[in-house]
């Protein structure tokens, strides 16, 4: 029996040694240490042994069993280590490979233009102010010399939330609010960029939502020539030092007198072409001297204070500067349109 156990041990150890997979090892375990295995069989036959032999063989059988189990465990660890090693080898990352390109976005053309205009006016000492897009009838119309029933309200038909609340039709209410907070005794020098809303049918040049930038300067002794100087500086920085400006008389309910500003056409140099519709001039913005009623409603004494104001549409500015032919390009966000201006 001793020899038989020794033989089984050698046999099992050899098979453990040869096993090249975890499954192979499991098979060896079942074969030798399982309930139907030869060692169990030896132990079962111990009844036939003498009293003296029984503990010796019992001990030996347990040792052999222990030895084989130990060998299986050692081999299993070795196989698992080797498998992990192999996997790590195969999955190793080549850090010298060139990186995948990262798609880098950029600011929207409209954002770039608004920021460019902001920078120009900050350079001339203006502050940037923002305000609510849902406005009261008072700040959107009343405080700007547009009383209820005024015909000019029709041109700015809007989206109403209630009778007294609406989506602002211009950024002027931000200026009315800013002036109102000064107790009629401090100068104001501000621009206000932001979204505005009109009940309009969208087409190549109209949108129910668009952007406006308005400027306002209120102080003692502000004159029309101050407006002209500021707008001239703006036009030359925005469109090129070779551009001329001209002011034409116009009408706005919140300014008196009112003007519209044109810049000389860059395409034809002033001789007339399709871009300027044969006039040599392109309309850029509107402005004027703040109406005395507007100053008064904001708390200023119009005999002591005067001011100029102007308003422009950055979409229009961008369309003229870059030859964009449809205002809807700004809002539909076709990536092919937007990408053209990422280096602009």
Residues that bind ligand 2NL (CB under 6 A): 172, 175-176, 212, 214, 216, 252, 254-255, 285-288, 290, 294, 309-313
**Closest separation in Å from C-beta 231 to ligand 2NL:** 11
- Closer to ligand 2NL by Cβ: residue 24 or 184: 184
Contact at 8 Å (CB) between 192 and 129? yes
Q: What is the DSSP letter of 291?
A: P
**Closest separation in Å from C-beta 286 to ligand 2NL:** 3
- Closer to ligand 2NL by Cβ: residue 217 or 338: 217
The residue number with the shortest CB distance to ligand 2NL is 311
- Closer to ligand 2NL by Cβ: residue 290 or 324: 290
For 200-208, which contacts have Cβ atoms below 8 Å and span 24 or more sequence positions?
Answer: 202/328, 204/325, 204/326, 204/327, 204/328, 205/327, 206/327, 207/315, 207/327, 207/328, 207/330, 207/331, 208/159
Contact at 8 Å (CB) between 219 and 182? no
Phi, psi of 322 (to 5 degrees): -115, 5
**Closest separation in Å from C-beta 210 to ligand 2NL:** 9
- Closer to ligand 2NL by Cβ: residue 172 or 264: 172
- Closer to ligand 2NL by Cβ: residue 4 or 321: 321
Question: Rounded distance, CA 61 to CA 41, Å?
Answer: 10
**Closest separation in Å from C-beta 175 to ligand 2NL:** 3
Contact at 8 Å (CB) between 309 and 290? yes
| Other CB atoms within 10 Å distance of the CB of residue 134 | 13
**Closest separation in Å from C-beta 309 to ligand 2NL:** 3
């Amino acid at each position: 029996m001793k020899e038989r156990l020794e033989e089984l041990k050698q046999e099992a150890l050899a098979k453990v040694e040869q096993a090249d997979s975890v499954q192979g090892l499991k098979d060896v375990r079942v074969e030798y240490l399982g309930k139907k295995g030869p060692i169990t069989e030896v132990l079962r036959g111990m009844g036939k042994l003498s009293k003296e032999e029984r503990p010796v063989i019992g001990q030996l059988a347990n040792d052999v069993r222990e030895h084989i189990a130990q060998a299986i465990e050692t081999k299993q660890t070795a196989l698992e280590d080797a498998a992990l090693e192999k996997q790590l080898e195969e999955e190793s990352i080549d850090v010298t490979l060139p990186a995948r390109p990262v798609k880098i976005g950029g600011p929207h053309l409209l954002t770039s233009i608004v920021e460019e205009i902001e920078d120009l006016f900050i350079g001339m000492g203006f502050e940037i102010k923002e305000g609510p897009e849902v406005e009261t009838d008072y700040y959107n119309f009343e405080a700007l010399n547009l009383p209820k029933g005024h015909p000019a309200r029709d041109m700015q038909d809007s989206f109403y939330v209630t009778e007294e609340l609406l989506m602002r039709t211009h950024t002027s209410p931000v200026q009315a609010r800013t002036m109102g907070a000064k107790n009629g005794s401090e100068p104001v020098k501000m621009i206000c960029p932001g979204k505005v809303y009109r009940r309009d049918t969208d087409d190549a040049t109209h949108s129910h939502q668009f952007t406006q930038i308005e400027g306002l300067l209120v102080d003692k002794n502000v004159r029309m020539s101050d407006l002209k100087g500021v707008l001239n500086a703006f036009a030359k920085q925005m469109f090129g030092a070779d551009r001329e400006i001209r002011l034409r008389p116009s009408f706005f309910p919140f300014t008196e007198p009112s003007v519209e500003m044109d810049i000389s056409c860059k395409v034809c140099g002033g001789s007339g072409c399709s871009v300027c519709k044969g006039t040599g001039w392109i309309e850029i913005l509107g402005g004027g001297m703040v109406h005395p009623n507007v100053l008064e409603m904001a708390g200023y004494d119009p005999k002591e204070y005067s001011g100029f104001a102007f308003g422009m549409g950055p979409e229009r500015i961008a369309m003229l500067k870059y030859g964009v032919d449809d205002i809807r390009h700004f809002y539909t966000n076709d990536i092919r349109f937007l990408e053209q201006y990422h280096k602009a």
